[in-house]
Amino acid sequence: MPVGALEKRKAYLAMGGIGVVCAACYLGLSLQLPQGRLDQPGPGVFPIVVGVLLTLASLVTIWEGWQLDRREQIAMPVGSDLRRLLGLIALLFGFLIAMPIVGYIVSSALFCILLMRILSDLSWPRVLAYSLAMCAALYGAFVSFLKVPMPRGIWDFWQ
């Protein structure tokens, strides 16, 4: 069972570091917002409070990371697990980028077919049959019946 590992301490420190950078950028932007007066507090007041909170939270994260035992590990996927995970993410990006262009029907069908293929050893005809049946059912329920206006993309001219 191939399982990779990452030192939890490093991950915490990295997370806290990202948090501090985020908070700094966020605070910088917040200071440019109108602050208003006490009787007319502007949109910039609350973000400053939030920015300070995020800075504190990030510092606490770094502090806790610092205290962590170096032996504590986080299980990370490697090998085929990692490939499947990255496959899912890539497919999702593809699905969502394609949806406004080629429309919901085509993109969701392709997504189902490919994801099912990644997740199983089924033959192509069965994958196609299952996916298309599933997508047709979802389309019927949500788009035809409940009239959720999913993007039609290039099929816009079509009924």
Of residues 96-155, which lie at the interface with other proteins (CB under 8 A)? 96, 99-100, 106, 108, 111-113, 115-116, 119-120, 122, 124-125, 128, 130-131, 134-135, 138, 142, 146-151, 154-155
What is the three-class DSSP state of 149? Answer: coil
Query: Cβ distance 74 to 5 under 8 Å?
Result: yes
What is the three-class DSSP state of 126? Answer: helix
CB neighbours of residue 105 within 10 Å: 19
Interacting positions 71-100 with other proteins (CB under 8 A): 74-77, 80-82, 84-85, 88-89, 92-93, 95-96, 99-100
Provide the token pair at 12: 């915490």
Identify which of 96, 132, 98, 137 has the alpha carbon closest to the alpha carbon of residue 116.
Answer: 132
Per rule CB under 8 A, is residue 42 in the interface with other proteins?
Answer: yes
Per rule CB under 8 A, is residue 13 in the interface with other proteins?
Answer: no
Please select the residue that binds other proteins; options are 53, 90, 129, 136, rule is CB under 8 A.
Answer: 53
Rounded to a whole number of angstroms, the minimum distance from the CB of residue 114 to other proteins is 9
Query: Cβ distance 58 to 23 under 8 Å?
Result: yes
Per rule CB under 8 A, is residue 27 in the interface with other proteins?
Answer: no
